[in-house]
A and B are shown apart, each in its own frame.
Chain A
Amino acid sequence: MKKQTCSRILPLVALLWGVGLCACGDSAPELQRYELRLQGTTSRFSTTYLSATAVQVTLGGAPLRTELLPSSQRMNVANATHAHLVAHFWLRPEQVREGALEATVVLDDFGAFEGTDGSAGFVDAREAPLRLKLQGDALERNGRAVIHIDLDRSIGAERQGSRPLLPHLRLVY
């Protein structure tokens, strides 16, 4: 049984880390799943819809296994009570301190907003991937990182019915 687990993990570990060795003993490393979420805060917008199209998480520059989730589509990030689940990513808990953990979330070209003043338009997110540095120990403790986007500062000046996304972010765990 143990052997089977190891043989299943072995190719994955080798693939992810370029490491050809696996400690096939009692301490076979288990990958743990972590969450990346997105949550907005705003007093100016009643709705703000954004979708993600790609996500990458790297450890010391090497890509980790990540999975963008359907819940990352058409997220109303103006709803401050919900942290949308954008992606899962996997690593061994002890790895969180082995190198810089960085995440990039690419948003779909356009989103949309409705202002509390009755205005509405589309959000131009073409130039605005969300880039983040994760704190390994906080991530390990909480199992997730939540991107807080300050929409009041991130949604720029109106230009013929559109507003550019200028990400103002913070990470909480």
Chain B
Amino acid sequence: MRLKRQWLLLSLLVPSLAAAHDLECEVSINEQSTLVVREYPATLTFRQVVRNIHPTLPSTLQEATDPLLEPLGWSFTPPPPVAIPVNDSRTYEFSVTVESLEDCARIGQVPPSESVEFTDTLQIGWDQGMATCSARVQCVPADTFVCDDTLYVSSSAGTSTELMPLDPTTLATTPVSSSTGFGYDAMGLSHIDGYLYAISNRNLSGDPIPHVVRVDRVGNIEDLGSLPELAGQEWIVGTIMEDGSYVIGSFLGSQWLRLNPVTLEVLGQGTLPTTTPTAWAANPLDNKIYGYQSYLARMSVFDPYTGDFTVFGPVLGNVGIQPCSCAFQQDGTFLLYCYTSDPTVDALFEVDLVNGVATLLGSTPSLAAGDMASCAFPPAQGATPAVRPSGYYMIHEAALERCLASGPVKLGLLPAVVTKEDALRLLWSSPAFTLGGEHRSEEQAARHALARQTLTGVCNQRLFGGTPELQRLLLDTTTTLGRTRAMSRLERHLGEANGRGLDVALPFSLRGRATPSHALEQLQPRSSP
């Protein structure tokens, strides 16, 4: 009897001892749990609240950590240990200024991309317990170029470059941005993402190899890095093709490269049979590059997909043997901007590509050696097209049925996805295990993850039209079969491409009901996708 009473006493005592301290936390950023930053600079105020939720006793906060903010000088104030009375809390605010999208990625400790997202997590500890709480920041581009017929010219000297719109009627220029760290050339303005891509042949990084840079409308420059293929050449011409690939040409070696400007993958390369044109631009009407052969004073046309290169038309005597730059208008008008025999004056011509006649539009005081770019191809729907990540397809069976109605989706070495059930089995199984519960090897996991993104990408194309970037990456999936690292890299790029249009609403006809539990019921672990 006595023993029983002791047990009773103990059982009453133990829970209260175990919960002698009890805390919870809360994080908000500018008073929101998910903050979207669209303008820069922006001030982010992280508000962290630690609350005592013990009904009758004070609780002592023993530890507070925030791995994201600690490198920025954060330390919870008042510093632990701190006793928090009943019904009370401690609030700490910490502010950070985000200068740009790139800066947002730096603060978030994530790779720079077009939409940077990161999570801030506060972890608190007390005697016999811990808790975490989180909030998210999403940074989107401040200022991409509006894809219209604006002509942009650059004026570059050494490691400095000024970028300015050129009015083809008045030939007036208005500086929009300048850089002292990157002397860039070979510009191409992408209708896919609204950024201007260029090669910085000279910069302050100390790297002798030229770098690919990305410039936004307000002049922020992101150094995208270098490639061994860029070494030893000065890249003077650049243009964006209809599929968003970036084609550049070098001055002395007459070399050309076709790049994916986002991933810096080399999609094609070669050497031109003659000197590189000093000006080239992709024609929106036939997706070929038209250039001016300065030493011949004639026009050329180049197809970077076949390597075909032809010089055509008469000698343009009124343009002469001068370095030029050029750009297309969206209606196919070809504009050529050249030095003249007078070193203080530049001239703008319109060249008729059918009869090869150059018409002088006007002249203007000379700019330093530069390039010209325009957004020649119409932007895809004026904005990012809607695409959805694999999570969408996990729970939208009708979307999967519509996607597969136009045929099976081939997945390289893995079996093709034929039925909705095949697709659901692939989407709902993780890279870690098969549906049957077998561990996947590292290689199998990479193959599975890539297959999931491939199915998602193909369905994005079939249902929503997809994007040229997606099309290009899906082409790569058909050739990437082997190495785990290559598969993982491609999987990451595809994942980004599949997630890029998440903020864009779907067309009404494609909105369907999400049915997660029903989708899960369709899984039958008879095979192991």
B464-495 contacts to A (CB < 8 Å): 495
Chain A's nearest CB lies how many Å from the CB of B120? 9
Q: Which residue of A lies closest to B452 (CB)?
A: A109
List which B8-51 residues lie within 8 A (CB) of chain A. 24, 26, 33-34
- Are B520's CB and A113's CB within 8 A? no
Q: Is A52 a contact of B119 with CB atoms below 8 Å?
A: no
User: Among B24, B129, B429, B504, which residue has the most Cβ atoms of chain A within 10 A?
Assistant: B129
B-contact bits for A96-134, CB 8 A (1 contact / 0 none)? 000000000000111111100000111110011011110
Interface assignment of A167: CB less than 8 Å from any CB of chain B? yes
**Which of B34, B391, B433, B503 has most chain A Cβ within 10 Å?**
B391
Q: Which residues of B are found within 8 Å of A70, using beta-carbon distances?
A: 433, 437
Instruction: Name the residue of chain A whose CB is nearest to the CB of B22.
Output: A170
Q: How would you classify the secondary structure of chain B's contact residues: helix, strand, loop or mixed? A: mixed
Complex CA distance for A130 and B502, rounded to whole angstroms: 24
CB-defined interface of A152-169 with B at 8 Å, one 1/0 digit per residue? 011011011110101111
Cross-chain contact of A160 among B136, B433, B503, B517 (Cβ < 8 A): B503
> Is there a chain A Cβ closer than 8 Å to B526's Cβ?
no
Cβ of A110 and Cβ of B390 under 8 Å apart?
Answer: yes
Q: Are A135 and B129 closer than 8 Å at their CB atoms?
A: yes
Query: Do residues A156 and B395 form an inter-chain contact, with CB atoms below 8 A?
Result: no
Asked whether any CB of chain B lies closer than 8 Å to the CB of A51, the reply is yes
CA gap between A32 and B395 in the complex, in Å: 40
Please report B residues at the A interface, Cβ cutoff 8 Å.
Answer: 24, 26, 33-34, 63, 117-119, 121, 123, 125, 128-136, 389-392, 394-395, 428-433, 437, 495, 502-506, 513-517, 519-520
Instruction: Flag if B513 contacts A120 (CB, 8 Å).
Output: yes
Query: Is B33's CB under 8 angstroms from A157's CB?
Result: yes
A114 near B119: Cβ-Cβ < 8 Å: no
Docked CA distance A167–B284 (Å): 48
Which residues does chain B contribute within 8 Å of A68, judged by CB atoms?
432-433
A72, A110, A171: residue with the most chain B Cβ atoms closer than 10 Å: A110
- Asked whether B131 lies within 8 Å of A169 as measured between CB atoms, the reply is yes
Question: In the complex, A70→B392 CA distance in Å?
Answer: 23
Closest 3 CB pairs of A and B: A110-B391, A122-B391, A70-B437
Q: Is the CB of A159 within 8 A of B130?
A: no
A122 to B125, CA, bound (A): 31
Q: What is the CB-to-nearest-CB distance from B117 to chain A, in angstroms, rounded to a whole number?
A: 6
In the assembled complex, the Cα of A72 lies from the Cα of B228 at a distance in Å of 43
Complex-state Cα separation, A114 to B513, whole angstroms = 11
- 16 further A-B contacts with Cβ under 8 Å, apart from A114-B516, A169-B133, are A52-B432, A53-B432, A109-B389, A110-B394, A113-B516, A121-B514, A122-B389, A122-B392, A128-B134, A131-B121, A132-B130, A156-B33, A157-B33, A164-B136, A166-B119, A172-B129
Q: Are A109 and B391 in contact (CB under 8 A)?
A: yes
Query: What's the nearest-Cβ distance from chain B to residue A117, in Å?
Result: 13
Minimum CB–CB distance from A37 to chain B (whole Å) comes to: 15
Once A74-B428, A131-B121, A156-B34 are accepted as A-B contacts, the answer to whether A47 and B130 lie under 8 Å apart by CB is no
**Structural contact, A171 and B513, CB atoms closer than 8 A:** no
